[in-house]
Structure 1
Amino acid sequence: MPVGVVLRKSPGVTKWAKFAWRAVCILPGADPADWKLLRTDGDVSDYHVTTVPLTIYRTDTEAYVHGLAANVPCVYVICRETSDPAKPLEVVMVTASPYEAQDYSDNGEDIVEKVMMTPQVHAWIASYVDEHHEEEAFVKRRRDKHREHKQDGIGDARISQTTDVYRAPRRAGSEPAQ
């Protein structure tokens, strides 16, 4: 589904940042755009920055179920800073998976913005999940009895060692205390 991304430019709150940018909404089914000014209210401006595809995958339905069950279902806009002052952010992607958004936020280079999901997108994802999601039963992994090794305190049997591996190390040339 093509999704337009709207970023808001507002005055910065510190002397080091002249402006603050944040994603404020998405526009499902939007036409292509390239930093189109939508509205201005004083020092605050909203831009339709770009339109990117929102792609959902059958293997990620567990993440979508988690995201749809939130108090406020959201999509995540992933942006990167650029060196162009006219276009300071590049929208990398939009995802409905909170797990994928977490992966992008972990790298420290990307900006991940949480944006409320529109009713159209919510209905589209919910119908996809209803059709494709399959609950997986939790299966606890059990140890293999034949692979368990007896602990005798000497350590790995493949290494020749006649003393206990948990003894205190000694310095070379030092005699044990009597």
Structure 2
Amino acid sequence: MSRSYPNSVTIPVGVVVRRTPGVTRWAKYAWAVTDVLPGAAAADWKVLRTEGDVTEYHAATLPLTLYVSDAEAYAHELQARVPSIYTVLRPNEQSGGLPWSVALVTASPYEAQDYCDSAEELVEKLPLPHGLLAWVVEFVEKHYEEEAFVKRRRKNARVDQTDDGVGDARIRQATDVYRAPRRREVIN
């Protein structure tokens, strides 16, 4: 079911995309990711269900890989009110009637945020299914160690000295050197 690479584990996850009629004259259809299928077999826009004008597709099956280096991101996501998984749809450059291709499935909110910075990809957030949630929790418990916060202290700081703000003591000045320059008046 899951494969392991050095410092990571992977499981295939199917992505379900729903096509509904568009609400404006400029968009014939609206597309949204509605579900994920842990452990799904390979698929290429297989029709799952059609009811009237609404069609659901098993669009693709992609690997969901958890990396030890990203364990902090997964732990952060597990602390959310509803732990989620993220999918990224990218505009399809090929002709064939389908405007999107599934580019990524991730459990890292940080990686998903990187894709949100571009206005071209469609990033969808879905609740983690219970089985997938247990898998991510097990991975985080095994690999994540929270670092203790250590407040830095300044070394060799002389706090007993005072700064009077007049600049170099060798140069005689009547006032503060950090004052704003005065405006000169031009006489004609």
**TM-score under structure 2 length normalisation:** 0.78
Does structure 1 residue 39 correspond to structure 2 residue 39?
no
Instruction: Please list the CA deviations of residues 98-118 of structure 1 after superposition, one character each: whole Å capped at 9, or x if unmatched.
Output: 122112112322211011211
Instruction: Please list the CA deviations of residues 108-144 of structure 1 after superposition, one character each: whole Å capped at 9, or x if unmatched.
Output: 2221101121112111111111111101111223344
Instruction: Please list the CA deviations of residues 39-74 of structure 1 after superposition, one character each: whole Å capped at 9, or x if unmatched.
Output: 101111011111111011112222212222323221
Aligned with residue 148 of structure 2, among 137, 140, 162: 137
Identity %: 50
Q: 1:168 to 1:46 in 2, by over 3 A?
A: same
| TM-align CA RMSD | 2.7
> Residue 45 of structure 1 aligns to which amino acid in structure 2?
T
- The answer on whether the counterparts of 1:153 and 1:166 sit within 8 Å (CA) in structure 2 is no
Does structure 1 residue 125 correspond to structure 2 residue 140?
no
State the SS of the aligned residue for 2:23.
strand
Q: 1:71 — aligned with what?
A: 81
Aligned with residue 52 of structure 1, among 45, 51, 62: 62
State the SS of the aligned residue for 1:103.
helix
Q: 2:110 — aligned with what?
A: 99
State the SS of the aligned residue for 1:17.
coil
Q: Between Structure 1 and Structure 2, how many residues are aligned? A: 169
> Residue 98 of structure 2 aligns to which amino acid in structure 1?
K
Structure 2 portions without partners, runs of 5+: 1-10
Structure 1 portions without partners, runs of 5+: none
